[in-house]
Chains A and B, each alone.
Chain A
Amino acid sequence: MKAVRYKSGEIGANIVFLLVAMFFLTSSFFIDAGNSQALSSPKIVPILLSAVMVVCAVLSLIEAIKTRQVSKATENVFQLPVLTYVGVFFVYVGALFLLPFWLASAAFLLFSFLYWKSLPPVKAILASAGVVAVSMTLFAKVFYIDF
């Protein structure tokens, strides 16, 4: 069951890569070349390399369809906890635009420690506050980064 799901996942990913390659190939044809000559046109390298991408993506797709074996490390692609965590990470990146940098970061770290059961709650709060305070002070004072 897992193998089947992994395989359809791999084929799906390869199709996405092929679409990306085709997107860049089409976009390359629409680059504004101004009055440049054919060989020095800004289009030439993007078109050639996107074409290479399309060929490589097709080869990789064929390979994915043909292959029966599924490597052990990639069996469990649809791990819900990791996907959820990736989702939370994106919420964090979005929150950076709305909340103060330290608040969003501390909240994210606290969530992470509790989510992965790394630390008991009190330690988690101390650790997340500590990490944020130390790194931000360091960066602000030593590297003059303006948060």
Chain B
Amino acid sequence: MEHLLNIALLTAGGTLAGILVGAIPGLSATMAVAILVSLTYGWDVTSALAVIMGIYQGAVFGGSITACLINIPGAPSSVVTTLDGYPLAKRGEGGIAIGWACTESFLGGLVGVLALWIGTPLIARIAIGFAPQDYFLLAIFGILLVGSFAEGSFGKAMFTASLGIVMGLIGLDLITGMPRLTFGSDLLVKGVDLVTAILGLFGLSEVLYQLYQNSSAHVIQKVGRVLPPLNLLARYLPLTLRTSSIGVLIGALPGVGGPIASLMAYDHAKRTVKNPSSPFGEGAYEGVVASESANNAAIGGAIIPMLTLGIPGDAVTAVIIGAFQIHGLRPGPMLMTETPELFNMIVLSLLFATFFFLIFGMLLIKPFIKLVSIPQNILLPPIIFITVIGAYAINSSLIDVAWMAFFGIVGFVFKLYKFPIPPMVLGLVLGPLMDETFRRTMISYRGNFGDLLGAIAVSPISLSVVALMGVTFYLMFRKTGKAKRG
């Protein structure tokens, strides 16, 4: 009993820290967990995991706070939340946007924990069957989806997406082992750091753009009520369950986590919700519902392959695998049989964390909003400073600060001329995946398309992915066709 109380307290602390870390742009869950892993080296493994699980859940929710209030996703998995969360805040419903984010993150988190608890053996069997070509199809799917949700024209979105992909390929090429597009520079061998790029593209560029627009209005407008009405909560429950399931499934795919899960869920909501509270992208509650339930549900999903196969579901679980190994445990097929209590502990900590961030989130919204309701010209310079610190913190490197400044200017110019930025960030993530899986497929089938098509035709997984893509694009084109005729 005392042990349980201990776990609960540690999880609570982790969750609170996670919300704050998630809310500060540039401090991502990945980074916080990575630091925690080394700090808790001397602890016993269950205490360390309790804090880490708290941080993980808290940070993914925390990212939505700044996504709604200042249009800067605090964490990559909240990129999609900005699409509707920020318009809501602009029309004075910032409080309710976070209220939705909090309750939906809670519901999504619960679904994720449930899925983790009952679905572990099941998902393991599905994930193992994914061949390189299936990953490639998924990457293409993601990149084409970018065009459908970005603001601005399809051409501009594809430009920034392609730029992101090509920049994501800078660095050492995995397949030849040789540098690519590095122009002989040692600095570029490492490639473009995703967190630095996000800080510049979303943090700095937004601040500059706000200054440029020179509006005397505050970054944060009226807050309004926080608690979402219960009847709406009930009405959105079916959508929540669908998007949470998407979150779990996407999260469980190796390497794809919250950002893609929320993107897929958002797309699903956009297609299935006939009469949103406002049009999507202009402050639809449904947009926040989909994105926030999915990204927290993805946590439970991401832990499944980590525990059963030792394969990280996303960047954070990759770091958590490190925590296991530091404590002499190796996630894999033997973990569940050797230390079943550890699995129960993880499920329990995640469950605690879900309740804690609901409580903290609801209580902290008001103080937090007060904190960011400071006039714009006082608030913005410190935000610039925080993005600088954030960029520096990743590797204690001033070169990264220079990179962040570079991406900030790129983002600022893109914003001026209505080139959407989220596709570029997704391109940075999906580009290497797409390149790698395409070439892996080609090597695997020695360039023989006949064999490749044969393999796709007999694999139920490939067929499902193809069917998923087909249905999505059929629905998308039918919609745009209708829009053009109408």
Q: Do these two chains interact?
A: yes
Which residues of A approach B to under 8 Å, CB–CB?
Answer: 10, 13-14, 17, 20-21, 24, 27-28, 31-34, 36-42, 44-46, 49-50, 52-53, 55-57, 59-60, 63, 71, 73-74, 76-77, 79, 82, 85-86, 89-90, 92-93, 96-97, 101, 105, 108-109, 112-113, 116-119, 127, 131-132, 135-136, 139, 143-147
Min C-beta distance of B153 to chain A, whole Å: 7
Chain B contacts of A33 at CB under 8 A? Answer: 176
**B211 A39 Cβ-Cβ under 8 A:** no
Does B169 sit within 8 A of A, measured CB to CB? Answer: yes
**B398 A24 Cβ-Cβ under 8 A:** no
Chain B contacts of A147 at CB under 8 A? Answer: 392, 396
| B398 in complex: contacting residue of A50, A57, A85, A97, CB < 8 Å | A97
Chain B contacts of A112 at CB under 8 A? Answer: 380-381, 384
What are 17 A-to-B residue pairs whose CB atoms are below 8 Å?
Answer: A17-B419, A24-B163, A27-B181, A31-B180, A36-B175, A37-B443, A40-B439, A41-B439, A42-B435, A45-B165, A45-B438, A56-B156, A63-B155, A82-B211, A82-B214, A90-B405, A116-B381
Chain A contacts of B169 at CB under 8 A? Answer: 45-46
| B401 in complex: contacting residue of A21, A93, A131, CB < 8 Å | A93
Chain B residues with a Cβ closer than 8 Å to the other chain, count: 61
Chain A contacts of B435 at CB under 8 A? Answer: 42, 45-46
CB-nearest residue of chain B to A130: B382
| A56 in complex: contacting residue of B162, B176, B180, CB < 8 Å | B162
Chain B contacts of A139 at CB under 8 A? Answer: 389, 393
Does B137 sit within 8 A of A, measured CB to CB? Answer: no
Min C-beta distance of A113 to chain B, whole Å: 6
Q: Nearest 3 pairs between A and B by C-beta?
A: A112-B381, A56-B159, A116-B377
Q: Which one of B108-116, B304-312, B409-417 is at the interface? A: B409-417
| B447 in complex: contacting residue of A38, A86, A135, A146, CB < 8 Å | A38
Does B183 sit within 8 A of A, measured CB to CB? Answer: yes
**B159 A40 Cβ-Cβ under 8 A:** no
Min C-beta distance of A28 to chain B, whole Å: 7
Does B241 sit within 8 A of A, measured CB to CB? Answer: no
Given known contacts A27-B183, A82-B214, what 6 new A-B pairs fall within 8 Å (CB)?
Answer: A38-B447, A46-B166, A76-B214, A89-B384, A96-B388, A136-B389
Chain B contacts of A77 at CB under 8 A? Answer: 416
Chain B contacts of A116 at CB under 8 A? Answer: 211, 377, 380-381
| B416 in complex: contacting residue of A13, A21, A119, CB < 8 Å | A13
A77-B416, A82-B212 known; A105 and B388 CB under 8 Å? Answer: yes
**A113 B381 Cβ-Cβ under 8 A:** yes
Does B124 sit within 8 A of A, measured CB to CB? Answer: no
Chain A contacts of B39 at CB under 8 A? Answer: 144
Q: Mark contacts of B412-453 with chain A using CB atoms, 8 A cut-off: 1 yes-contact digit, 0 otherwise.
A: 110011110000000000010011001110110011000000
